[in-house]
């Protein structure tokens, strides 16, 4: 059972480039979310989804887009990368949107130069 799978593990971008961070879960979870982790700041919520076709903004959504066309996949798009987006990105899921433990992927470390 793979759980939450994130690809790639590492990525280096130049300022202005675009890319998509992939996230897939095989647990049939309705709720999925993206966090970014920065030193001393813990994890901050970027976007989340309570089901296929439904997404909403979290605490730090600027510069990121998401979509949820299937229950399994929740990609995060950076349209024009900026150095401030250098971070470690985590995808997480839970069975429903009701408060419950999140299941995390292993993260994507992104560097923007």
Partner 1 sequence: AQSVTQPDIHITVSEGASLELRCNYSYGATPYLFWYVQSPGQGLQLLLKYFSGDTLVQGIKGFEAEFKRSQSSFNLRKPSVHWSDAAEYFCAVGPPPAAGNKLTFGGGTRVLVKP
From the list 20, 44, 65, 77, which residue makes contact with partner 1 (rule: CB under 8 A)? 44
Strand bridging mode 87-94 / 4-7: unpaired
Choices 11-19, 35-43, 67-75, 78-86 (CB under 8 A): range interacting with partner 1: 35-43
Q: Which residue has the tokens 């903004």?
A: 57
C-alpha dihedral (55, 23, 90, 59), degrees to nearest 10: -10
Identity of the residue, 27 or 102, whose beta carbon is nearer to partner 1 in the bound complex: 102
Spatial neighbors of 61 by CB under 8 A, at least 6 apart, are 46, 47
Strand bridging mode 54-57 / 108-112: unpaired
From the list 12, 15, 26, 56, which residue makes contact with partner 1 (rule: CB under 8 A)? 56
CB of 11 to partner 1, least distance (A): 15
Task: Answer yes or no whether residue 60 interacts with partner 1 by CB under 8 A.
Answer: no
Give the pair of three-digit tokens for residue 11.
Answer: 């990525």
From the list 50, 67, 73, 77, which residue makes contact with partner 1 (rule: CB under 8 A)? 50
Binding site for partner 1 (CB under 8 A): 4, 31, 33, 35, 40-45, 48, 50, 56, 58, 90, 92, 94, 96-102, 104-107
């Amino acid at each position: 059972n793979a759980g939450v799978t994130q690809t790639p593990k590492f990525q280096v971008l130049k300022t202005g480039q675009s890319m998509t961070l992939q996230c897939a879960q095989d647990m049939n979870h309705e709720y999925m979310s993206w966090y970014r982790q920065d030193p001393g700041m813990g994890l901050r919520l970027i976007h989340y989804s309570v089901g296929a076709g439904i997404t909403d903004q979290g605490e730090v959504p600027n510069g990121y887009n998401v979509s949820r066309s299937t229950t399994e996949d929740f990609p995060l798009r950076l349209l024009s990368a900026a150095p401030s987006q250098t971070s470690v990105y985590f995808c997480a899921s839970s069975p429903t949107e009701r408060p419950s433990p999140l299941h995390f992927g292993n993260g994507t470390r992104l560097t923007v130069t």
